[in-house]
């Protein structure tokens, strides 16, 4: 399958700071990406998605940036809160195929 | 968001027995569902694609006779771990995506929604 990897396995931030989680992907044919949040013992939770015809998409407190030239994704979380502490995965697939391949994950620790 | 229900959430079984895990999409139809496996502190590994009305397709290295998948309806897929061994102990997670034309949950594509996972322990 496709290879999707992350630069940082763990990230610690202070409550209220902004967080940036990065992800690299290797399949240039991938054109749809999702960021998921996974809390301990639970399934992944959808956060935000982006298609390859965009380079930025914003949600509530979160922004996803896509750089297709270098095959890189990032997730920005504004004003990080303790409830944001979790493992974050990026996942990729090809348009109209719902099969997702996941990166290795980044654990976000938010310090109060 | 959409709801995908997985049952059971936890199961302990003896070596050599079989265990069935159910995945249901509660408020949408899904012609395709996916099964993942996750080891502690690792990412989700795609095991197979469950296709309603046809055979499942398995990722390379996944034994189809070991992990039986049945997609009996547009809202239900089951994964049966046969002749379970302790090394099959893992967290199994399913996902489902709305069928084309049903995506209405805010995602840009047919986004995948995940069940809560099943913790399988084989003793």
pLDDT in tens, A77-91: 999 999 999 999 999
Asked if B114 contacts A47 with a C-beta cutoff of 8 angstroms, the reply is: no
User: Which residues have a Cβ under 8 Å from the Cβ of B20 and sit 6 or more positions away?
Assistant: B78, B79, B80
Q: For residue A43, give the chain B residue with the closest CA.
A: B116
Q: Tens digit of pLDDT for each residue in B83-117?
A: 999 999 999 999 997 766 555 444 445 677 899 99
Pick from B49, B114, B116: CB nearest A99: B49
Q: What is the mean pLDDT of chain A?
A: 88
Which stretches of B14-114 are DSSP H helices? none
Q: Which of A98, A101, A109 is the best substitution to test chain B (most B C-beta atoms within 10 A)?
A: A98
Which of A85-94, B17-26, B49-58 tops mean pLDDT? B17-26
User: What is the rounded average pLDDT of the residues A61-67?
Assistant: 97
Indicate the pLDDT class of residue B54, thresholds 50, 70 and 90: confident
Indicate the pLDDT class of residue B6, thresholds 50, 70 and 90: very high
pLDDT at B103: 52
User: Can you give the three-state secondary structure of A32-48, one letter per residue?
Assistant: EEEEEEECCCCCCEEEE
Partners of B73 in the β-ladder: B76
Q: What is the mean pLDDT of chain B?
A: 89
Q: For residue A59, give the chain B residue with the closest CA.
A: B106
In the 8-state DSSP scheme, what is residue A63?
Answer: E
pLDDT at A59: 93
- Residues in B touching A89 (Cβ below 8 Å): 43-44
Whether the per-residue pLDDT at B48 is higher than 90: the answer is yes
Q: For residue B96, give the chain A residue with the closest CA.
A: A98
User: Which residues have a Cβ under 8 Å from the Cβ of B52 and sit 6 or more positions away?
Assistant: B30, B31, B32, B71, B72, B73, B74, B77
What is the four-CA torsion angle of B38, B43, B46, B47, rounded to 10 degrees?
-30
- Positive or negative torsion for Cα A109, A103, B94, B15: negative
User: What is the rounded average pLDDT of the residues A56-77?
Assistant: 96
pLDDT at A7: 45
d(CA B107, CA A68): 20
pLDDT at B101: 58
Window 50-89 of B, Cβ < 8 Å to A: 59-60
pLDDT at B67: 97
Question: CA dist B25 to A5, B2, B12, B79, B103, Å?
Answer: 29, 8, 24, 15, 13
Asked if B48 contacts B61 with a C-beta cutoff of 8 angstroms, the reply is: no
Whether the per-residue pLDDT at B65 is higher than 60: the answer is yes
d(CA A106, CA A9): 5
Asked if A69 contacts A14 with a C-beta cutoff of 8 angstroms, the reply is: no
A83 close contact with B: CB closer than 8 A: no
Q: For residue B107, give the chain A residue with the closest CA.
A: A49
Indicate the pLDDT class of residue A97, thresholds 50, 70 and 90: low
CA distance A88 to chain B (A): 10
Which of A3-12, A22-31, A102-111 tops mean pLDDT? A102-111
Share of chain A above pLDDT 70, in %: 88
């Amino acid at each position: 399958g496709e290879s999707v990897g992350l630069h940082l396995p763990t990230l610690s931030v202070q409550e209220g700071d902004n967080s940036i989680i990065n992800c690299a992907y290797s399949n240039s044919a991938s054109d749809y990406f999702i960021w998921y949040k996974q809390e301990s013992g639970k399934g992944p939770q959808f956060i935000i998605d982006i298609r390859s015809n965009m380079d930025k998409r914003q949600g509530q407190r979160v922004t996803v940036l896509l750089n297709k030239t270098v095959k890189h994704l990032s997730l920005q979380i504004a004003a990080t809160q303790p409830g944001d502490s979790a493992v974050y995965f990026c996942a990729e697939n090809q348009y109209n195929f719902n099969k997702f391949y996941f990166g290795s994950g980044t654990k976000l620790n938010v310090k109060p | 968001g959409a709801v995908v229900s997985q049952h059971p959430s936890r199961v302990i079984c003896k070596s050599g027995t079989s265990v069935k895990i159910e995945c249901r999409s509660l408020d949408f139809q899904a012609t395709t569902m996916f099964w993942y496996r996750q080891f502690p502190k690792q990412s989700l590994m795609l095991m197979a694609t469950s296709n309603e009305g046809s055979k499942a397709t398995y990722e390379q290295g996944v034994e189809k006779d070991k992990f039986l998948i049945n997609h009996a309806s547009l809202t239900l897929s089951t994964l049966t771990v046969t002749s379970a061994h302790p090394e099959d102990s893992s967290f199994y997670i399913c996902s489902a995506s709305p069928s084309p034309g049903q995506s209405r949950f805010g995602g840009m594509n047919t986004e995948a929604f995940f069940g809560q996972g099943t913790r399988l322990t084989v003793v």
